[in-house]
């Protein structure tokens, strides 16, 4: 059995409780037992659920899944480096967020949640709405009033209700927190079960490399759901002696909203709020202050990781470089290409090492933005 543990005051709660945070407002983490029966795993279907003993769901019949996962890991040719691209945009709703949504919605089904609210107008909202449709859980997504119709259509087609909130993204967060007292807040940022899903990316990469850890992994970082998922996943593999070391986790932010990068270069013990004054095409990583800030800093530190930031001009170039090799991704994913240049220049990665690039979201999500690039 797993239980929630508060990251601030250490208070524990059973996971059967309908809660998303501690009474002290601290972020909850999960305490649980995991194992990796490799021979059994090898016989199972190639989905995220092949790592069943490492995902804290009690009963198999509660699993909400489209048989997602085991996304391809392919060679990527760029500047003579040893790069591999993890095609994590190949998921039922078009982004890696399905890993988290599958596990979170399964857990909510298991504890009997019938109706949820969530705030996101992007990939997480679509993933939560899609999996709620499969689980027959009523779902309402809070979005800023200014959100474009195109972005909302996927969420609405899944049958989720949209609640438009006037004002900024922060006003939307405040509105959902107020209603979180009445309905279950299935937050992909607050609820630790979401990371229990995103961590399966680490298991797949290790298995695809014959149960070895790569040297480096480069991924976008906003609230940190893929960065932290990779950290938790590789840490569990290390603790269970499946791999011998952690990969270096290298995160990429947009220069218009880069609180993690700022804390990294200033060697701060805290991530300070970063006021975003301009827009960026990398809309999926605009978090002014990540909720799990301490854990992100711990992950950077424990993996000898690093953070960089990139401009929209660099991202646009990245989109073209990826597309020339047949990889059609959204701008938020393309940040990894200019990041390769920067980390290579700083000697953080080198041609002798294996470096994985996580491609997080499909280009089909953002066609209206991509047409403006050319
Ligand atoms: Zn607490």
Nearest Cα residue to 32 out of 7, 10, 4, 9? 4
26 alpha carbon to ligand 1 midpoint, in Å? 5
111 alpha carbon to ligand 1 midpoint, in Å? 22
Of 185, 208, 226, the residue at which a domain comes to its end is 185
- Would you say residue 245 lies in a domain? yes
What pLDDT, on a 0 to 100 scale, did the predictor assign at position 149?
Answer: 74
- Would you say residue 215 lies in a domain? yes
293 alpha carbon to ligand 1 midpoint, in Å? 15
19 alpha carbon to ligand 1 midpoint, in Å? 12
Provide CB contacts within 8 A for 200, sequence distance 6+. Answer: 48, 51, 55, 69, 99, 103, 229, 233
pTM: 0.97
13 alpha carbon to ligand 1 midpoint, in Å? 10
- Would you say residue 297 lies in a domain? yes
45 alpha carbon to ligand 1 midpoint, in Å? 39
State which residues form the domain around 27: 1-32
Domain count, the chain: 3
2 alpha carbon to ligand 1 midpoint, in Å? 17
The CA distance from 98 to 349, in Å, is: 29
Same domain, 199 and 180: no
Burial of 117 (C-beta count, 10 Å sphere; 0-12/13-18/19+): buried
The structure tokens listed for 15 are 């996971």
- Would you say residue 180 lies in a domain? yes
303 alpha carbon to ligand 1 midpoint, in Å? 27
- Would you say residue 11 lies in a domain? yes
- Would you say residue 68 lies in a domain? no
- Would you say residue 323 lies in a domain? yes
190 alpha carbon to ligand 1 midpoint, in Å? 13
20 alpha carbon to ligand 1 midpoint, in Å? 11
Provide CB contacts within 8 A for 264, sequence distance 6+. Answer: 300, 306, 307
223 alpha carbon to ligand 1 midpoint, in Å? 20
21 alpha carbon to ligand 1 midpoint, in Å? 8
- Whole-angstrom distance between the N-terminal and C-terminal Cα of the chain? 53
The CATH number of residue 141's host domain is 3.40.50.1100
29 alpha carbon to ligand 1 midpoint, in Å? 10
Same domain, 170 and 204: no
36 alpha carbon to ligand 1 midpoint, in Å? 31
Same domain, 276 and 214: yes
Same domain, 219 and 79: yes
198 alpha carbon to ligand 1 midpoint, in Å? 24
Of 185, 208, 228, the residue at which a domain comes to its end is 185
Sign of CA dihedral 173, 160, 138, 165: positive
336 and 358 Cβ atoms separated by less than 8 Å: yes
What pLDDT, on a 0 to 100 scale, did the predictor assign at position 151?
Answer: 73
8 alpha carbon to ligand 1 midpoint, in Å? 5
Of 185, 201, 225, the residue at which a domain comes to its end is 185
What pLDDT, on a 0 to 100 scale, did the predictor assign at position 261?
Answer: 98
101 alpha carbon to ligand 1 midpoint, in Å? 25
Per-residue pLDDT of the chain (374 residues; tens, 9 = 90+): 799 999 999 999 999 999 999 999 999 999 999 999 999 999 999 999 999 999 999 999 999 999 999 999 999 999 999 999 999 999 999 999 999 999 999 999 999 999 999 998 789 999 999 999 999 999 999 988 877 776 789 999 999 999 999 877 778 888 999 999 889 999 999 999 999 999 999 999 999 999 999 999 999 999 999 999 999 999 999 999 999 999 999 999 999 999 999 999 999 999 999 988 888 888 888 888 999 999 999 999 999 999 999 999 999 999 999 999 999 999 999 999 999 999 999 999 999 999 999 999 999 988 888 888 77
27 alpha carbon to ligand 1 midpoint, in Å? 7
């Amino acid at each position: 059995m797993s239980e929630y543990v508060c990251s601030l005051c250490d208070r524990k709660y059973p996971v059967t409780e309908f809660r998303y945070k501690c009474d002290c407002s601290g972020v909850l983490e999960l305490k649980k037992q995991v194992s990796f029966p490799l021979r059994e795993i090898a016989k199972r279907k190639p989905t995220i659920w092949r790592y069943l003993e490492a995902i804290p769901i009690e009963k198999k019949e509660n699993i909400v899944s489209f048989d997602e996962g085991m996304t391809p890991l392919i060679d990527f040719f760029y500047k003579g480096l040893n790069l591999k691209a993890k095609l994590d945009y190949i998921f039922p709703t078009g982004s890696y967020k399905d890993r988290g949504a599958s596990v979170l919605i399964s857990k909510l089904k298991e504890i009997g949640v019938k109706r949820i609210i969530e705030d996101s107008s992007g990939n997480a909202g679509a993933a939560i709405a899609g999996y709620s449709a499969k689980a027959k859980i009523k779902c309402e997504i809070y979005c800023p009033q200014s959100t474009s119709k195109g972005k909302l259509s996927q969420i609405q087609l899944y049958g989720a209700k949209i609640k438009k909130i006037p004002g900024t993204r922060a006003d939307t967060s405040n509105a959902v927190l107020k209603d979180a007292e009445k309905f279950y807040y299935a937050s992909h940022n607050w609820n630790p079960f979401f990371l229990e899903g995103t961590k399966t990316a680490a298991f797949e990469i290790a298995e695809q490399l014959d149960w070895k850890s790569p040297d480096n992994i480069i991924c976008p970082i906003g609230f940190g759901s893929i960065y932290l998922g990779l950290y938790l996943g590789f840490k569990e593999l290390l603790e269970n002696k499946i791999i011998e070391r952690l990969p270096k986790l290298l995160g990429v932010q947009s220069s218009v909203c880069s609180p993690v990068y700022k804390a990294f270069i200033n060697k701060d013990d805290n991530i300070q709020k970063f006021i975003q004054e301009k827009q960026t095409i990398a809309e999926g990583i605009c978090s002014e202050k990540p909720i799990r800030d301490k854990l992100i800093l711990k992950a950077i530190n424990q993996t000898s990781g690093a953070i960089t930031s990139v401009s929209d001009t660099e991202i646009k170039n990245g989109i073209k470089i990826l597309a020339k090799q047949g990889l059609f991704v959204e701008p938020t994913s393309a940040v990894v290409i200019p990041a390769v240049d920067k980390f290579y220049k700083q000697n953080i990665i080198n041609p002798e090492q294996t470096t994985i690039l996580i491609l997080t979201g499909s280009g089909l999500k953002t066609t209206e933005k991509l047409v403006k690039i050319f």
